[in-house]
Structure 1
């Protein structure tokens, strides 16, 4: 008992541990100070310039509140562009339909739906810019539906306020040394490379870790994409460093897949040949940090070329050698990309990282926003509620913001909590702390506690939505002006309307065209089926692009998978096999098109393409064997292309054989 008592922490230690969990870290305090100073600077400049919408400058700072400088710069760029587009569209719509409010509302709802639909197919801050150009029209045109003659002035004020907010937060971030995103990405990418090497080492030594473990690794790698895109604006050579980060991320996808495929190919061989054993050993050596990927690529290229020339290796041996070469090349690109990100220079390649988006889901998201806006307009007009335009602006903004979040329901819950909290804080500051005073210093001091609390909440992932809404809508409801207005009735009306907008959003994401996990999986599966059909027909596209796209589709499929562990595992296995076959078919057709230009290989290349389109495992294997036999005397460079085609044909044959029943259920039948 005394030993256990001695091991228990003392009361002061427990108190300190509790304080460490509750009290924000120094970095959080620095972030809050920067946002508060930028918000106050933007307000002061807006008052000095006598802008009619001075609070919009503070709201702009709140929306651009990001802990890293590159993140804020990237979001600021697309916020400015989105505001310009939205302002132009608002002026055009008001000029065309100012005399008919119903037509104006319908035109705006159509534009808003189009912007939300477009945002679904963009990434990160670009998606935000597209969505912003939609609800900016509401802020400028719908808010002035009763005074159309002031629309142009409102557009100019809006653009000026947004510009002030961007300048203010950029200046404060530079002056106070906001942390750079590229250093964070450098360290996180290094950890991801180490984790991928560990994954590959365990795969080659212990066996396939399974689809769930692979999906977890893909999730870790995919988390770097957004931050990698934000690097470009931070440094003079930022675009090159961002390209290096993208190259490394794409390479990690390939390393994870190639390691699993190499292990599976070796396992299918009754007795691995000396070349296969050497290739496996080279890949195992590449999982160590001090390895030389360039030398491994050169040696593995020789092994692949020799195996094709000798024409005495089984198809699975060619597959194993090619996947080992793929792994080595990916390891080389990963090391090069990380080096460029850390030290500068030019990467070996610049590749895009496309993400998977489902058209039905994008249509549902756009229609959900349009229907919610239309029903709200009908309800408020029928009720004859005053300040209807203010409520419509809030509904348009919150519904649009929710459409680009990974989980709209979680965001809606944060809005439902954050809106009343913002109204409460604004009321306390306006009628409690200020209480009729017209001094700017007191306004700055009174805003500080709320801004700090909102920043702390936004840095904590579980409370991010609450903190973001509090930070953005607190200045909206406070509405700082010069002179400051103290109208309790107007404040209560606005507070009620923003809470009403939160309720509309909360019920919208649950009632209007909801997308369940099952439907998410169905959309992803249908997209994978269509991509596979196109790849089998020879329309698969670039191999690197397909790998990134498939990885993102698998990540989303894993996110929406549910049920028992066995069901989830089986579903993921099928999804991974579909992605493997689709990538293999796309690469095989690309290689076969090139080989068809060689007169000696044209006939067998055509037969191989026809066999691939037939989805017949036996025909595909026969075509691969014929291609291998015919290409043995070819030139060294041709033999390398031929090995890739043979390996991809063999992969497609394995999936067609192992998942034949599932492929038939999808309507992909052998002919």
Structure 2
């Protein structure tokens, strides 16, 4: 009987109206969760049931773990924001203009903290600013209402979180760890291909290496959501983190291997040392690849990895401080404009200004985020007006509210699922601002004057933030790059390795990869600049080689090889290729006389000597070459 050798094609996903079934299922979950949150809010007669619906819109994420992680940070930030609102209103409510200055300082402080964090932790820091704006600012003339308003907001957010959790559980929202495992597996294949090219003597360009480090480090904020996904989420988080750290380590080792010169171009003594280094690097790359595969298996099975690496985030306090100062000044300037104009009921506009500034601080480019907000707010106002005066048109029945909201909520939720960051951001912001303007209540208000004033202030808030950013521009991408590269050079010049001295070499390399990720995203999703990538990768290669050397020298620094190891450490402080090479030869001879093995330390020293070679270092090259 003949065997059919034709491989079965992978089943194509069901597509309806241009969107896959998974996107429709996500949109349906968002709509149902929003209706559940509104229904419970109406039933409990909350002061602001629309806050529960807004929580659902904010937590609209495609997988269970992502939504629950963000929900946890949203609850925590709300508690902190309510406490801060009570303290600020209690201490400064009667101080006039000083209260606005204090609110501006709070906005700047939250923005500063958000700049030191990533993922949903940065969102939580921004939400502390937003919560104070929505409570203290809106009640700026009635400070005694700050506490009940904060309690009402907390209750509404809790209802929204429970609605999202219940709907995701009942409708079996997908888990995120299979998606994350697939992404890490793709990255592992790319790193393996780079190492294979290094074996053949091919040197990857700096742009390729920097882009791969960017893609690896960009996964870091997403692995935290695995903790809230299931009871074994903590083990999966540790496994994913270890896999990412080992990927960066394998990439670093592959670049060291590719940088080694050909044996035919060297003197016999140096050729022997390079051969030792090449052999050790191959073995280390193989060990790292095996560890990545083990971590991937642990991620899928929900077991602990072989070793729980830390994946530290690089934090630039200088950039965070400058961003926070600009945010504080922008908010204060806009507040002064409102004071000078004397417009009544501007609390909503000022609170939304803080919302846009806070959310923009979590974006790589605050100015681009503000431009998206400028586009989203008028669209949201138009949609809210259509719903209020054409679709609902005076009705208050919840069933009609549910039917009327369906096209808008489902359509915008589908837009959120698009791969385009711009369209996805517009979809989320339009959904949020539509609910802000519509403000569903029971019974529903149809006062056209209130609607027009609300729409005006919602649009005006984004325009004022955009104008403030023209007057006081956010930190430019080029300046961010200069600051990050300057910090990398200063750390490299320190003999103790700077702030990364308490980290293992693998963990410190991941921290450097996170810095490169920030460098490449500083100017938005544009093409990687070859010169910038070359400078960043040269610092990365040199720092990784130095840390490897120190770690291996510490292992052989006792006993007969102590003198040679100390001489090698002193050679490393000089950052001179020839001096480091001479120290490696001296260590090799000392090990031979003592009949001891120091291959790992010798190999690391050879890699460091190549990394610190003058302009011939391949880390500086923007184009690949063949040996």
What is the CA–CA distance in structure 1 between the aligned matches of 2:206 and 2:401, rounded to whole Å?
55
What is the CA–CA distance in structure 2 between the aligned matches of 1:635 and 1:34, rounded to whole Å?
69
Match in the other structure for 2:550: 589
User: Which runs of 5 or more structure 2 residues have no equivalent in the other structure?
Assistant: 1-13, 620-627
Match in the other structure for 2:580: 620
Match in the other structure for 2:457: 497
Task: Determine if contact 1:354/1:545 at 8 Å carries over to the other structure.
Answer: yes
Task: Determine if contact 2:259/2:610 at 8 Å carries over to the other structure.
Answer: no
Tell me the secondary structure at the aligned position of residue 420 of structure 1: helix
Confirm or deny that 1:393 pairs with 2:351: yes
Question: Mean alpha-carbon deviation: is it higher for 411-420 or for 253-262?
Answer: 253-262
Question: Mean alpha-carbon deviation: is it higher for 159-168 or for 426-435?
Answer: 426-435
What is the CA–CA distance in structure 2 between the aligned matches of 1:424 and 1:365, rounded to whole Å?
33
Tell me the secondary structure at the aligned position of residue 560 of structure 2: coil
Match in the other structure for 2:388: 430
Task: Determine if contact 2:259/2:617 at 8 Å carries over to the other structure.
Answer: no
Confirm or deny that 1:485 pairs with 2:445: yes
Shift of 1:419: 0.6
Equivalent residue in structure 2 for 1:25, among 20, 26, 31: 20
Question: Higher relative CO (CA 8 A, sep ≥ 6), structure 1 or 2?
Answer: 2
Match in the other structure for 1:253: 248
Match in the other structure for 1:646: 602
Cα deviation per residue 1:382-420 (whole Å; 9 max; x = unaligned)?
Answer: 111122211111000111101111222332222111111
Tell me the secondary structure at the aligned position of residue 260 of structure 2: helix
Confirm or deny that 1:83 pairs with 2:78: yes
Confirm or deny that 1:458 pairs with 2:416: yes
Match in the other structure for 2:167: 172
Cα deviation per residue 1:475-527 (whole Å; 9 max; x = unaligned)?
Answer: 11111112222221111111111111111233344442333332232112112
What is the CA–CA distance in structure 1 between the aligned matches of 2:567 and 2:100, rounded to whole Å?
58
What is the CA–CA distance in structure 1 between the aligned matches of 2:606 and 2:16, rounded to whole Å?
54
Equivalent residue in structure 2 for 1:550, among 512, 519, 540: 512
Confirm or deny that 1:354 pairs with 2:315: no
What is the CA–CA distance in structure 2 between the aligned matches of 1:537 and 1:191, rounded to whole Å?
32
What is the CA–CA distance in structure 2 between the aligned matches of 1:195 and 1:449, rounded to whole Å?
42
Confirm or deny that 1:518 pairs with 2:486: no
Match in the other structure for 1:476: 436
Match in the other structure for 1:286: none
Aligned in 2, Cα 1:433/1:427: closer, same or farther, shift over 3 Å? same
Aligned in 2, Cα 1:50/1:524: closer, same or farther, shift over 3 Å? same
Match in the other structure for 2:130: 135
Aligned in 2, Cα 1:117/1:659: closer, same or farther, shift over 3 Å? farther
- Please list, as runs of the form range in 1=range in 2, the aligned pairs for 1:75-474 lying within 5 A after superposition: 75-205=70-200, 207-265=202-260, 267=262, 270=265, 314-460=272-418, 461=420, 462-474=422-434
What is the CA–CA distance in structure 1 between the aligned matches of 2:499 and 2:215, rounded to whole Å?
30
Equivalent residue in structure 1 for 2:66, among 50, 65, 71: 71
What is the CA–CA distance in structure 2 between the aligned matches of 1:635 and 1:477, rounded to whole Å?
79
What is the CA–CA distance in structure 2 between the aligned matches of 1:511 and 1:268, rounded to whole Å?
59
Aligned in 2, Cα 1:80/1:602: closer, same or farther, shift over 3 Å? same
Equivalent residue in structure 2 for 1:600, among 560, 570, 590: 560
Shift of 1:445: 1.4
Cα deviation per residue 1:518-554 (whole Å; 9 max; x = unaligned)?
Answer: 2232112112112212356676422122111222222
Match in the other structure for 2:624: none
Tell me the secondary structure at the aligned position of residue 144 of structure 1: coil
Aligned in 2, Cα 1:603/1:189: closer, same or farther, shift over 3 Å? same
| TM-score when normalising by structure 1 | 0.84
Question: Mean alpha-carbon deviation: is it higher for 439-448 or for 189-198?
Answer: 189-198
Task: Determine if contact 1:70/1:234 at 8 Å carries over to the other structure.
Answer: yes
Task: Determine if contact 1:98/1:148 at 8 Å carries over to the other structure.
Answer: yes
Equivalent residue in structure 2 for 1:657, among 589, 604, 613: 613
RMSD of aligned C-alpha atoms?
Answer: 2.8
| Aligned residues between the structures | 602
Shift of 1:374: 0.6
Aligned in 2, Cα 1:434/1:354: closer, same or farther, shift over 3 Å? same
Tell me the secondary structure at the aligned position of residue 203 of structure 2: coil
Question: Mean alpha-carbon deviation: is it higher for 512-521 or for 93-102?
Answer: 512-521
Task: Determine if contact 2:85/2:135 at 8 Å carries over to the other structure.
Answer: yes
| TM-score when normalising by structure 2 | 0.90
Shift of 1:354: 2.3
